[in-house]
A and B are shown apart, each in its own frame.
Chain A
Amino acid sequence: DAGITQSPRHKVTETGTPVTLRCHQTENHRYMYWYRQDPGHGLRLIHYSYGVKDTDKGEVSDGYSVSRSKTEDFLLTLESATSSQTSVYFCAIRDLGRGLNTEAFFGQGTRLTVV
């Protein structure tokens, strides 16, 4: 299994509070992704990173920010959580050094509930 760890695995937070989710990899893969999964929508891309300090927006980036200060960690921050951000969040990684033509591996997911 690919070495991907998401933390926390479950979190309940109050509306308006900041929340940071962490994705940690031990594979030295260049590309990292954050997705959210909601019923009826499949997985939607929030933000992604193609290297240290190199990030870009996905389909549903409003209300989220990311940071990648080192290869192994990709942080997703909800600056002020809202109930619409209640979801399951998945992190994914893709291989290093093979350009774009590589498969992605997923973490176990983080279930976030905003009350």
Chain B
Amino acid sequence: GIQVEQSPPDLILQEGANSTLRCNFSDSVNNLQWFHQNPWGQLINLFYIPSGTKQNGRLSATTVATERYSLLYISSSQTTDSGVYFCAVGGATGTYKYIFGTGTRLKVLA
């Protein structure tokens, strides 16, 4: 099955700093999402981005499907950005499975 790797596993930033989170996947995909899990455990949809680039405020994401990776950019980070960021992918081979990476734990310091 598809393998999903995220890097870095942990990240500590000062408020106002920028960061890039990476998601690598081992096979072709039709679906890719980025989620933020807040400190209360809620999973929040950030981007649905199987290919291309999207932006939403201080966050943006780019997926290069042919090279099997996606990047999540966080600019001018805030303490509320703290939590765990996951990418999840669904394969292009007819499977309905949706597989998660192990996440990047981000802590933004005031």
In the assembled complex, the Cα of A35 lies from the Cα of B103 at a distance in Å of: 15
Q: Which of A35, A88, A100 meets B96, CB within 8 Å?
A: A100
The residue on B at minimum CB distance from A32 is: B96
Give A108 to B86 CA distance when docked, in angstroms.
16
B99 surroundings in chain A (CB, below 8 A):
45, 59
Chain B facing A: main interface SS: strand
B42 interface residue, CB < 8 Å from A? yes
B100 and A100 within 8 A (CB): no
Chain A window 17-45, contacts with chain B (Cβ cutoff 8 Å), 1 for yes, 0 for no: 00000000000000101010000111111
Chain A residues touching B, majority SS: strand
Q: Give the one of B45, B86, B90, B96 with max A CB within 10 A.
A: B96
Determine if A45 and B31 form an interchain contact, defined as CB atoms under 8 angstroms apart.
no
CB-based closest 7 A-B pairs: A103-B48, A106-B43, A42-B102, A43-B100, A50-B96, A42-B100, A42-B103
Chain B interface residues toward A at CB < 8 A = 1, 30-31, 33, 35, 41-43, 45, 48, 50, 86, 88, 90, 94, 96-103
